[in-house]
Amino acid sequence: MAIYPEIKTHRLKEHLSEEVVRIRGLKKSFGSNKVLDGFDLSLYRSENLVVLGKSGSGKSVLIKCIIGLLEADEGEIHVLGHSIPELDHEELDQIRVKLGFLFQSNALYDSMTVRENLEFPLRRHWIVVTQDQVDQMVREALENVGLGHTLDMMPIELSGGMRKRIALARTLILRPEIILYDEPTTGLDPITAGEINELMVSIRERYKTSSLIISHDMKCVRETADRVVILIDGKCYAEDSYDGLSRSKDKKIRDFFE
Amino acid sequence: MTTVIREYDLLQQINQGKGTDLIKIIKLNIPLKVRPFLEEAGGLAGFTGKFFAEGFRPRYEFQEFIRQCFIIGYKSLPLVGLTGFIMGLVLTMQLRPNLVQYGLESALPGMVGIAIVREIGPVITALIFAGKIGSSIGAELGSMKVTEQIDAMEVSGTNPFKYLVFTRVLATTLMLPILVILSDAISLYGSYIGINIRGATSFGFYWDEVFRNLTFGDVMPAFVKTYFFGFAIGLVGCHKGYHSNKGTEGVGRSANSAVVLSSILVFLIDLISVQITDLMGLN
Ligand SMILES: Nc1ncnc2c1ncn2[C@@H]1O[C@H](COP(=O)(O)OP(=O)(O)OP(=O)(O)O)[C@@H](O)[C@H]1O
Ligand SMILES: [Mg+2]
């Protein structure tokens, strides 16, 4: 199986002209633990790109580097044309408004109600001024994920799947251009996971967002991916559509499909 | 990793009879014991530096600060009041027999007053505060850290250090002195009741006696040190939580070590403060 340096097979290629995220030669290690070792990736406008990798392969580290939560050791990270390592704090905040992040552990604030959780990014980014606008955006975001009735509940009162959806609503409330999903379906039952997959697809249709989905759940990959990148040993090992990869004879790639 | 190897080397040396070389033992042993301590101290110092470097620049998290003052100060009141009351009462009842023996019963209010205001009130209240607030800050920030809530704040246009750490440390620093004053007052009231279990002292006379014996040199250093106690407790709790390890076990450990370390610091600060007041001739 050849390693694909550029996209070769892709049917969407024509309107995938604009690179919204561009990563070249990304390196990140913790002490002697080399997690990312020259990783390359391009995310094009309004595509769903899945990064597939084993547990501990550095998927979370990768998207934390993209959003600037971790500092890369080396390499180029461009988001919407801005070089993330060169930005100062304020500039980074401005980019982060356009970047949604769905955390692996949801990261809902335990001490706040669902409403306060959703209001938090709005208020902190100084986006909306009037209470009416805030209320409307919160209600709309909750209805988008089908949980309008949970407005005044605490995160601890919700089930795992509901929490994931609230977290998704909080990510969507700023209408980001790019969404980074960190293992959106891990730990959920197959039915709930299926609902989350549907949501991710419908979000793309509705808001024309570009998504980078981190996963090792093959059902999620099949249902959401336009294109798949496989991360092995800190590098981009292969890149193709789901069908293309599923026909691969390479041992390391086959492992994911079995 | 290095520590394990060094410990092993040391054992080897001792087993081979080379261990009698005292210099060698000291050379090997000191880095072993001192290094974690220095690392801890360095981490805490860095955290303190960050507190002063970042905290006093805008944007100010006023709302969160008020909320923390309420949680940290107001909600500790019942516990601090109860322990203070018992402390004053018990102290009085235990001192009393000895003083009666020497016919010094009338010195009881003055003695208890000095003991409570100078030492017992501040230190016991600080220790209780460390147990209640230090551990809850450690656990709260620890669980926020491992469930990525701190990261989530950062990507939502918030500086989590300012929002979480600065507000809490400031709140503990400002609330503990107030709690200590209240605790002192309640303790002294407890002491009044303790005196009246056996004897009969009027309320007015009791307070006159207490205040007649208290000087500026008793009150001021005791008051000032409580700010440092509060600062140390808040800072250690936040430091431990903020640098919590992954997993729920990490959260428990943060809470636990926050209490242990801040309790030790309370005594260290107490020790330093008594030296300083001594040097300044304030006793
Ligand atoms: N802050 C950190 N400090 C030290 N090591 C870290 C840190 N964050 C991640 N690592 C290490 O980086 C490696 C990759 O971690 P990462 O969380 O990215 O894995 P992952 O691919 O997201 O796995 P999972 O599917 O389990 O979430 C692991 O070996 C981990 O120990
Ligand atoms: Mg991960």
Model pLDDT for residues A89-133, shown as the tens digit of each residue:
889 999 999 999 999 999 999 999 999 999 999 888 877 678 888
Distance CA(A23)–CA(A37), nearest Å, equals: 12
Q: What residues of B are in contact with residue A124 (Cβ under 8 Å)?
A: 153, 156-158
| B24 and B139 share one domain | no
CA angle, residues B252, B254, B260, in degrees to nearest 5: 105
Instruction: Calculate how close chain A gets to B164, using CA atoms only, in Å.
Output: 12
Looking at the structure, tell me whether residues B236 and B143 fall in a common domain. Answer: yes
In a domain, A129, yes or no: no
- Domain co-membership, B26 together with B40: no
Q: What is the pLDDT of residue A3?
A: 37
Ligand with an atom nearest the CA of residue A216? 1
Q: Is the CB of A234 under 6 A from ligand 1?
A: no
Q: Do residues B23 and B98 both lie within one domain?
A: no
Tokens matching residue A123: 């208020």
Q: What is the ipTM of this complex?
A: 0.88
Under 8 Å between Cβ of B229 and B134: no
pLDDT band at A74; cut points 50, 70, 90: very high
Cα separation, A220 vs A222, whole angstroms: 5
Distance CA A181, CA B166 (A): 31
* CA-based nearest residue to B207, from B178, B176, B184: B184
Residue A141 lies in a domain: no
- Contact state of A103 with B158 under an 8 Å Cβ cutoff: no
Q: Which residues pair with A26 in a beta bridge?
A: A39
C-alpha to C-alpha distance for B181 and B226, rounded to whole angstroms: 10
Residues B201 and B168 grouped into a single domain: yes
- Please check whether residues B17 and B56 belong to one and the same domain: no
pLDDT at residue A17, rounded to an integer: 66
Outline where A70-130 has alpha helix (H): 89-97, 114-124
SS (H, E, C) chain B: CHHHHHHHHHHHHHHCCHHHCHHHHHHHHHHHHHHHHHHHHHHHHHHHHHHHHHHCCCCCCHHHHHHHHHHHCHHHHHHHHHHHHHHHHHHHHHHHHHHHHCCCHHHHHHHHHHHHHHHHHHHHHHHHHHHHHHHHHHHHHHHHHHCCHHHHHHHCCCCHHHHHHHHHHHHHHHHHHHHHHHHHHHHHHHHHHHHHHHCCCCHHHHHHHHHHHCCHHHHHHHHHHHHHHHHHHHHHHHHHHHCCCCCHHHHHHHHHHHHHHHHHHHHHHHHHHHHHHHHCCCC
pLDDT over threshold 50, residue A11: no
Same domain, yes or no: B40 and B25: no
Does residue B113 share a domain with residue B227? Answer: yes
CA–CA gap between residue A248 and residue A241 (Å, rounded) = 11
Residue A256 lies in a domain: yes
Query: Do residues B172 and B228 lie in contact, with contact meaning Cβ atoms separated by under 8 Å?
Result: no
Q: What is the CATH number of the domain that holds A4?
A: 3.40.50.300
- To probe the interface with B, which of A111, A156, A173 has the most B CB atoms within 10 Å? A111
Using alpha carbons only, how large is chain A's radius of gyration in Å? 18
- The burial of B17, by beta-carbon neighbours within 10 Å (0-12 exposed, 13-18 middle, 19 or more buried), is given as exposed
Largest CA distance in chain B: 75
Q: Do B148 and A96 touch (CB under 8 A)?
A: no
Res. A39: pLDDT tops 60: yes
CA distance B78 to B66: 19
What DSSP state is assigned to residue A26? E
Instruction: Identify the pLDDT of residue A9.
Output: 38
Per-residue b/e over A103-114, b at no fewer than 16 CB within 10 Å? bbbbbbbeeebb
- State how many domains chain B has: 2
A28 has pLDDT over 70: yes
pLDDT at position B16: 67
The partner residue sitting opposite B155, judged by closest CB among A101, A110, A111, is: A101
Domain that holds residue B256: 35-279
What pLDDT score was predicted for residue B28? 67
Residues of B in contact with A126 (CB under 8 A): 157
Answer yes or no: is pLDDT of A85 > 60. yes
Closest residue CA from atom 20 of ligand 1: A56
Ligand 1 centroid from CA A30, angstroms: 9
- Structural domain total, chain A: 1
**Residue B145: closest CA among chain A residues belongs to which residue?**
A107
Tokens of A255: 């492992």
Whole-number pLDDT of residue B148:
93
Q: Is B75 left (phi over 0), alpha (psi -120 to 50) or beta?
A: alpha
Contact B162, B150 (CB under 8 A): no
* Burial (CB count <10 Å: 0-12, 13-18, 19+), residue A38: middle
Distance from CA of B154 to the nearest CA of A (A): 8
Q: Which atom of ligand 1 is nearest to the CA of A55?
A: 25
> One digit per residue, pLDDT tens: chain B, 283 residues?
444 555 666 666 666 665 556 666 666 666 677 877 888 889 999 999 999 998 888 888 999 999 999 999 999 999 999 999 999 999 999 999 999 999 888 899 999 999 999 999 999 999 999 999 999 999 999 999 999 999 999 999 899 999 999 999 999 999 999 999 999 999 999 999 999 988 788 899 999 999 999 999 899 999 999 999 999 999 999 999 999 887 777 889 999 999 999 999 999 999 999 999 989 887 6
Taking contacts as CB-CB distances below 8 angstroms, the residues of chain B near A180 are none
Q: Measured between CA atoms, how close is B84 to chain A, in angstroms?
A: 30
Asked if residue B58 and residue B10 are part of one domain, the reply reads no
Alpha-carbon distance A165 to B108, whole Å?
A: 65
Same domain, B47 and B4: no
Q: Is residue A156 situated within a structural domain? A: no
Q: Give chain A's mean pLDDT.
A: 88
Residue A258 lies in a domain: yes
Burial letters A191-208, b for 16+ CB under 10 A, else e = ebbebbbebbeebbeeee
How far is A90 from A97, CA to CA, in rounded Å? 11
Q: Which residue has the tokens 């087993």?
A: B15
Q: Is B156 in Cβ contact with A110 (below 8 Å)?
A: no
The pLDDT of residue B11 is: 63
SS3 category, A124: helix
Q: Are A84 and A77 in contact (CB under 8 A)?
A: yes
Higher pLDDT, A3 or B48: B48
Fill in the DSSP letter of residue A130.
S
Contact flag B157-A124 (C-beta cutoff 8 Å):
yes
> What's the pTM?
0.86
Minimum distance, in Å, between the CA of residue A32 and any CA atom of chain B: 13
Q: What is the mean pLDDT of residues A154-179?
A: 93
Write the residue with the smallest CA distance to atom 5 of ligand 1.
Answer: A30
Which position has the token pair 């002490």?
A31
The answer on pLDDT for A223 being more than 60 is yes
Q: Which of A67, A69, A107 sits opposite B147 (nearest CB)?
A: A107
A60 lines ligand 1 (CB under 6 A): yes
Determine which residue's CA is closest to atom 1 belonging to ligand 1. A30
Say if residue B233 is in the same domain as residue B257: yes
- Residue B255: its pLDDT value, please? 93
For residue A84, the enclosing domain spans 1-98+214-258
- The SS3 assignment for A248 reads coil
Contact state of A109 with B157 under an 8 Å Cβ cutoff: no
Nearest neighbour of A107 by CB, restricted to B140, B148, B157: B148
Considering chain A, what percentage of its residues have pLDDT values greater than 70? 92
- Ligand 2 centre to CA of A91 (Å) is 26
Same domain as B220, residue B106: yes
Strand ranges across the sheet with A48-53: A99-102, A178-182, A210-215, A48-53, A227-232, A235-240
Ligand nearest to the CA of A231: 1
Measured CA to CA, the distance from residue A60 to residue A104 in angstroms comes to: 8
Residue A149 lies in a domain: no
